[in-house]
Amino acid sequence: MNDHALYARALTKSYGGTRVLDGLDLAVPRGSVLALLGPNGAGKTTTVRILATLTAPDSGTARVAGHDIAGARSLVRERIALTGQFAALDDLQTGTETLRMTGRLAGLSARDARTRADELLERFGLTEAAGRLAKTYSGGMRRRLDLAASLVGRPEVLFLDEPTTGLDPRSRLELWDAVREMRADGTTVLLTTQYLEEADRLADRVTVLDSGRVTAEGTPAELKARVAGHRLDLTLTSRRAYETLAARAVHHDPDDLTLGLATDGSAAQVRALLDELDPDRTAVARFALRSATLDDVFLALTGAAR
């Protein structure tokens, strides 16, 4: 347990008659990135809120940065930071003012708060905009400033709850670079995301949640291998052919009449699949072989609509 920045056992949480978490276990090594994946309502945000001491579990135990979330809430809060889905900034403060104020609230001296603010403004590429009001920042700049504010107190654990929601591709890449830098500095990151590519690029390990339970966990490569090393995409000639073969597929695209089937990628298995599924050579219009992705894992291991 001491080797883990986050450790949880048998966490449960219900709201009314809805069971949001149902015996959740987590173990996240220090200095690593864990991605929590799952459909809407799977329990991702509730997990973050419990570990960040914002919500109490109904049952179960958890330790964050070595401290119990129930018995040592103040110690946990001293060692964590949380960045939610939307930037929490005062639009009437400049970037510099935001970070200096955060530093003072974190207990830094005025001198140390100034130094830390300057360090973070440079690190996140905001030095030139430091004197501008936050309301003039672009969406990507606001997210970077919000993330910088989370790091003022040098947290041991950082919770990122869907941090790139609404960002353009360039801003998303910039935020990914920032997460990699934090990991390199030894910060433990728990990331919830709806972007499967994001988890694939950033996470050391992935935990897939569905209906409040862990349905799979491992490295991105392990999870992709579990579903299939490769995927054979078949475009069918008719709706009838599509519906006949749909139960065999791990990927479904009814609009284009395309199904994806698990395969090891070998020529022998691809030929065998095509002969098995389309012996008369009338059902398949064309096919393509591609590597499996976390999208395939997500659809295969959760109850997400296909």
State the architecture of 4-224 in CATH terms: 3-Layer(aba) Sandwich (3.40)
Q: What is the rounded CA–CA span in Å between residue 278 and residue 295?
A: 26
Q: What is the largest CA-CA distance in the chain?
A: 78
Give domain limits for the chain: 4-224, 228-301
pLDDT recorded at residue 303 = 55
pLDDT recorded at residue 2 = 65
Q: Read off the pLDDT of each residue in 241-250 and give the average, rounded to a whole number.
A: 89
Average predicted confidence (pLDDT) for the chain: 88
Dihedral (Cα; 299, 195, 223, 266), 10-degree rounding: 80
pLDDT recorded at residue 306 = 40
pLDDT more than 90, % of the chain: 56
Asked if the model's pLDDT at residue 251 lies above 70, the reply is: yes
Contact 89, 146 (CB under 8 A): yes
Spatial CA neighbour of 164 closest among 47, 84, 99:
84
Sequence-distant (≥ 6) Cβ neighbours of residue 152 within 8 angstroms: 99, 102, 103, 106, 108, 113, 116, 117, 120
Asked if the model's pLDDT at residue 29 lies above 80, the reply is: yes
Tell me how many degrees the CA angle 178-181-186 measures, rounded to the nearest 5. 130
Which of 101 and 301 is assigned the larger pLDDT? 101
Tell me how many degrees the CA angle 236-237-238 measures, rounded to the nearest 5. 95
Q: For the ranges 4-8, 56-60, 113-117, 198-202, which has the lowest average pLDDT?
A: 198-202
Question: Which contiguous run of DSSP H or E holds residue 231?
Answer: strand 230-236
Q: For the ranges 50-54, 168-172, 218-222, 285-289, which has the lowest average pLDDT?
A: 168-172
